[in-house]
Amino acid sequence: MKTLKFLIEKEFKQMFRNPLIPRLIVLFPTMVLLVFPWAVSFEIKNIRVDVVDHSKSVYSKRLTDKIAASQYFILHDTPPDYNAAMLNMENDETDMIVEIPASFDVDLVKRRESGVGVAVNSVNGTQGLLGSNYVMQIVNDFSSELRGELTQTLPPQTRVSFMRLKKMNIVPQYKYNPALDYKKFMIPGFMVLLLTILCGILPALNIVMEKENGTINQINVTPISKMNFILAKLIPYWAVGLVVMIISITLSFLIYGLWPGGGVVAVLISSIVFILSVSGLGIIISNYSETMQQASFLVMFFILILVLLGGMFTPVSSMPAWAQAIAAINPFNYLTTAFRMLYLNGSSLADVSGNLLALGAIAVVLNGWAVFSYKKRG
Amino acid sequence: MSKKVIEVFNLTKKFGNFTAVDRISFDVKEGEIFGFLGANGAGKTTAMQMLCGISMPTAGEGTVAGYDIIKENERIKRNIGYMSQKFSLYEDLKVWENIRLFGGIYGLSDKTIAEKTNELLKQLDFEQERNTLVKYLPLGWKQKLAFSVAIFHEPRIVFLDEPTGGVDPAMRRQFWEMIYDAADRGITVFVTTHYMDEAEYCNRVSIMVDGRIDALDTPAELRRRFSADSMDEVFRQLARKAKRGDQ
């Protein structure tokens, strides 16, 4: 244990003398939190729409206006027929076509129901899905509006019975993120991403750098224990991770007003367990690599897997079984869930203890492997 | 006859089909300066790394400082110092920080380290460089520092892999004075070199050719046996047979 002190001292000195790393630790979280939450969002806005209005009635005009007024859509054109609109889509001038049939107003008044045709360019799948959903919402809204108005025109007797029959309106209430602010959903994920990158890549490059410089030889001829050597590599990244988290927590409060309902301590404790697991992964990569180039490629590959199968961008529950199996041993997944619970649900440390246990188990396995794969004798 | 601190028998290291070290057997006595000579690629460094416990022998056996080189390699490491061919102290640490680090790794206390550091820097006339980052030292100074660090914990044996490679003659002389000092303090010195004048400074030398030890004796005896005027000539006669290497 005594030698550990000397080793940790050495790691910190080297870290602070590196011209880049101390700056990265501060700049990286600042940049990511300032920029990314605004850009990375699954809300689709500014969908260009062509409305083909065969009805040219008051009602169809109102529906068109309603679409144009929505924040999601930009009314691009009102071509005379569907083919002209399709031509626009093929030229990538519009993303979506709404076709209102000639009998729209008549149907609405007489039969109390009507339909519109919607065609969406689904090359971008998300845009296709969300775009058609938004139009559906607008049309639904419009129809209940009309229903209300039409009811007024009926004779009193019928009106009452009609009102009784009136379709129930579903008004969703969004818990935990009432404004449906996508940024707030993504920020805890970005924090995990930051920890993964800084506390995963830096240790991955660390030991392999000692191999390239030859200093590892001088270490290997000493009686130093493998455990102490690996611990000394891990512990400084706790410090790095905690600094990153403190910057992130502060910035997300100051800029986005986001504060963990579960408490800062719970967030930091979860981070510490997580850092141990990704740093362990980094060290394993470093042990198996001979050059910095190999290590960088490997670590990028693994980080990609961690992030894409980690539930930050897409929910794990909708992944196929094999991907869910990977997610079950993915530390990224556990911390993203824990952070979202602590930040958005206001869960307590006890609520995320299952995630922390899983993270702890992963950390033990990975670091055991890290010690094992460090070979003092070739 | 004094005690043997290194004894090896049929030590072999293969990398795939390539036999870097081919059944070498020899011993080194306590307090000796043992020269380990050979052309580039003869297998000197590999042999030395097996003795230091950082390379696993493919076959053969032996002991270093009384410990088995196969099974007790970590115990060997408590008793040896090593200076590799490529400078491998931490360039981004200061002179005193490197000394402190390795002193600490070998289990010296903060106080002992501090005292011995002062003493060492004075001896080397290095006091003004105490706070210099190692990367800014000239090569000869780096080598002196690396040697001093290798024997800082008073090991029984120190392994030096081409310690004077690329160093000017004056510095080489100083370096050999340091080696003699260490030997006087009872440290066994195991040294590889390319400089045949340095071979003359050794008590005994072995000459490796293509992974095998072709000759092992005192410099005087070798010169006599090969009827040569200098070690340089002995070396040429032996190295001529070599099939690998780049000379």
What does the alpha-carbon distance between residue A310 and residue B99 come to, in Å, rounded to a whole number?
45
Asked if residues A201 and A244 have their Cβ atoms less than 8 Å apart, the reply is: no
Residue A77 β-bridge partners: A50
Q: How far A28 CA sits from the closest chain B CA (Å)?
A: 24
Record: contact B105-A376, CB cut-off 8 A? no
Note the pLDDT tens digit of each residue in A9-34. 999 999 999 999 999 999 999 999 99
User: Of the candidates A115, A134, A121, A136, which has an alpha carbon nearest to the alpha carbon of residue A60?
Assistant: A115
Chain B residues touching A376 at Cβ < 8 A: 53-54, 74
**Is B110 domain-assigned?**
yes
In order of A35, A129, A130, A313, the CA distances from A42 in angstroms are 15, 11, 9, 9
What does the alpha-carbon distance between residue A65 and residue B103 come to, in Å, rounded to a whole number?
80
Tell me the three state secondary structure of residue A48: strand
**Is B223 domain-assigned?**
no
ipTM of the complex as predicted: 0.92
Note the pLDDT tens digit of each residue in B25-37. 999 999 999 999 9
Q: DSSP string spanning A116-166?
A: -EEEE--SSHHHHHHHHHHHHHHHHHHHHHHHHHHHHHS-HHHHHHHHHHP
* E strand map for A109-178: 117-120
In the predicted model, is pLDDT for residue B183 greater than 70?
Answer: yes
Q: What is the CA radius of gyration of chain B?
A: 18
Chain A residues touching B107 at Cβ < 8 A: 2-3
Record: contact B86-A214, CB cut-off 8 A? yes
Domain extent, residue B97, equals: 87-153
**Is B149 domain-assigned?**
yes
Beta-carbon contacts of residue A212 (< 8 Å; ≥ 6 apart): A291, A292
Q: Does B97 touch chain A (CB under 8 A)?
A: yes
Work out how many domains chain B is built from and give that number: 1
Segments of chain A with pLDDT less than 50: 165-166, 168
**Is B241 domain-assigned?**
no
Beta-carbon contacts of residue A56 (< 8 Å; ≥ 6 apart): none
In order of A83, A127, A139, the CA distances from A69 in angstroms are 25, 19, 13
**Cα A167–Cα A171–Cα A175 angle in degrees, nearest 5:** 155
Question: In this predicted structure, what is the pLDDT of residue A106?
Answer: 81
- Residue of chain A nearest B110, judged by CA positions: A6
**Is B43 domain-assigned?**
no
**Is B242 domain-assigned?**
no
Amino acid identity at B15 = F
Q: Does B201 touch chain A (CB under 8 A)?
A: no
Question: In this predicted structure, what is the pLDDT of residue A160?
Answer: 56
Question: In this predicted structure, what is the pLDDT of residue A92?
Answer: 86
What does the alpha-carbon distance between residue A325 and residue A305 come to, in Å, rounded to a whole number?
13
Q: How many residues does chain B have?
A: 247
What does the alpha-carbon distance between residue B214 and residue B170 come to, in Å, rounded to a whole number?
31
Asked if residues B13 and B58 have their Cβ atoms less than 8 Å apart, the reply is: yes
Chain centre to alpha carbon of residue B48: 8
Record: contact B84-A218, CB cut-off 8 A? yes
Please name the member of A3, A214, A218 whose beta carbon is closest to the beta carbon of B107.
A3
**Is B102 domain-assigned?**
yes
Using 50, 70 and 90 to split pLDDT, how confident is the model at B147?
very high
**Is B76 domain-assigned?**
no
Question: In this predicted structure, what is the pLDDT of residue A233?
Answer: 95
Question: In this predicted structure, what is the pLDDT of residue A123?
Answer: 80
What does the alpha-carbon distance between residue A350 and residue A230 come to, in Å, rounded to a whole number?
30
What does the alpha-carbon distance between residue A367 and residue A357 come to, in Å, rounded to a whole number?
15
What does the alpha-carbon distance between residue A154 and residue B61 come to, in Å, rounded to a whole number?
106
Note the pLDDT tens digit of each residue in B90-118. 999 999 999 999 999 999 999 999 999 99
Note the pLDDT tens digit of each residue in B47-66. 999 999 999 999 999 999 99
